[in-house]
Amino acid sequence: MISRLNKSVVAAALVLAGIGAANAQAYVGGSLGTPDYKSSVNGVTGDGSGTGGKVFGGYQVTPNFAVEGGAFDLGHIDDSSGKVKLRGAYADAVGSYEFAPKWSVLGRAGVAEGHFTTTNGDDNSPALKLGAGLQYDITNTVAVRAEYEHYHFSDAFDAKPKVGEYSIGVKVGF
């Protein structure tokens, strides 16, 4: 019985992969943004400063669904007790819906791993990640995006820091 179930799952995956391959398009991109620290990190408080950003690559599986991964830099916070920098990597599922010609609303959910560098030590933490935004298609392969992404880290310095970022970026398909 388990063997039949495994064969069914493999067959379904192959069919979905074939459907997706007909519409698939790989893409790369980058964005710059402003970090928004919602909580203190290792005793350091602030709302964020500096410029954040990300570089990413993805695969548009269907017109409304993509998988995306990349590296992020969420700027830094500092006060009289120290400084915190946050960088890491992420993987997201990205949904989109075209609500007008060339305009789409985006939603994303995923996971991330962040590396916190502070004056009082370093730590790593996994995170759940959510985001929303708008995309305007300049051409069939070039688009601009405006997004907000929220990271909820689960265990950095025995705390659960929350960090967001407003960003503007470019996506290029090939």
Max CA-CA distance within the chain? 63
d(CA 44, CA 158): 14
Q: Is residue 131 one of the residues assigned to a domain? A: yes
Q: Is residue 53 one of the residues assigned to a domain? A: yes
H helices within the chain, ranges in order? 2-23
Question: What CATH number did the domain enclosing 94 receive?
Answer: 2.40.160.20
**Number of domains forming the structure of the chain:** 1
Q: Is residue 93 one of the residues assigned to a domain? A: yes
Query: What is the domain range of residue 33?
Result: 24-173
Question: Does position 3 have pLDDT exceeding 70, yes or no?
Answer: no
22 band by pLDDT with thresholds 50, 70 and 90: low
101 token code pair = 């010609």
For 98-107, write each residue's pLDDT tens digit. 999 999 999 9
Query: Are the beta carbons of 62 and 98 closer than 8 angstroms?
Result: no
168 token code pair = 């503007």
pTM to 2 decimal places: 0.83
Question: Does position 111 have pLDDT exceeding 60, yes or no?
Answer: yes
* pLDDT at residue number 23: 57
* pLDDT at residue number 150: 97
